[in-house]
């Protein structure tokens, strides 16, 4: 995701936040795929496994809020919104089979769609809000209608985090000029998950800089999602 230039100020760079989001997402998905998809809700699941899963999922709740924040930063600073949206759609397509295999043990499960579709609809919603911004920065009603339509699409398609994910992305976009209000809005909207608001402690220390990130590393961040899901799918379906 395009953020800013190289890191020159104290604090966490965009690259550091991406690393934190990827690591916590991996931890979360180990619980969701290797434990929950394997044991399900079986009443004989060992209590140690249940406790381990709880710890993994609590840590993992930090990932999506950070990705939402980075998506807003990427949208604000990208030079080509269509290309930015296209990448989200492309990786949504690439990730769907690994996602279904990792969490539903099937190459095709229409019941839920992967998070890239939520991010894509978030980009589309922000584009609608931006399209109908006035010179004073206020958003016209048409922009909110566009954003609402994207949230509804996420709900109907049952994307990961569905409508609330799109709504939170829009809230972070609308409060982007004030970090304090942005963090407060994000933390409040994520209160339905116990540890997710803590992600905005990291966001608070974001220094506005991209940080060291080569073109290869940039591609790796995009590919991390489908690749790690494919690995977890292999573990879940073949080894466990």
Select from 160, 140, 173 the least CA-distant residue to 61: 160
So what's the pLDDT on residue 237? 85
Does pLDDT of 3 surpass 60?
A: no
CB 115 within 8 A of CB 64: yes
So what's the pLDDT on residue 7? 38
CB 195 within 8 A of CB 58: yes
So what's the pLDDT on residue 78? 95
Rounded CA separation 240/231 (Å): 13
CB 226 within 8 A of CB 94: yes
Average predicted confidence (pLDDT) for the chain: 92
Q: 68-118: per-residue pLDDT in tens?
A: 999 999 999 999 999 999 999 999 999 999 999 999 999 999 999 999 999
Q: 170-210: per-residue pLDDT in tens?
A: 999 999 999 999 999 999 999 999 999 999 999 999 999 98
Select from 105, 135, 114 the least CA-distant residue to 225: 114
- Inter-axis angle of helices 81-104 and 63-77, nearest 10: 160
The pLDDT of 219-226, averaged and rounded, is: 96
Rounded CA separation 118/169 (Å): 9
pTM score of the predicted model: 0.92
Rounded CA separation 184/161 (Å): 19
Rounded CA separation 175/189 (Å): 13
């Amino acid at each position: 995701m395009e953020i800013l230039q190289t890191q020159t100020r104290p604090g966490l760079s965009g690259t550091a936040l991406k690393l934190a989001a990827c690591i916590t997402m991996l931890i979360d998905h180990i619980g969701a795929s290797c434990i929950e998809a394997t044991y399900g809700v079986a009443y004989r699941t060992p209590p140690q496994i249940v406790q381990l899963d709880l710890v993994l999922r609590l840590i993992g709740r930090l990932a999506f809020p950070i990705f939402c924040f980075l998506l807003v930063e990427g949208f604000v600073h990208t030079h080509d919104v269509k290309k930015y949206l296209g990448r989200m759609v492309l990786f949504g397509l690439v990730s769907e089979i690994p996602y279904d295999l990792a969490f539903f043990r099937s190459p095709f499960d229409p019941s839920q769609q992967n998070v890239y579709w939520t991010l894509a609809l978030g980009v589309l919603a922000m584009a609608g809000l931006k399209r109908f911004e006035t010179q004073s920065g206020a958003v016209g009603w048409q922009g909110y209608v566009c954003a609402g339509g994207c949230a509804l699409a996420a709900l109907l398609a049952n994307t990961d985090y569905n409508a609330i994910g799109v709504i939170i992305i829009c809230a972070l976009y609308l409060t982007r000029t004030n970090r304090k209000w942005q963090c407060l809005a994000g933390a409040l909207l994520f209160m339905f998950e116990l540890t997710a608001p803590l992600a905005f402690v990291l966001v608070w220390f974001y220094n506005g800089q991209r940080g060291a990130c080569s073109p290869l590393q940039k591609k790796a961040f995009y590919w991390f999602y489908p690749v790690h899901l494919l690995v977890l799918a292999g573990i879940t379906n073949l080894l466990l």
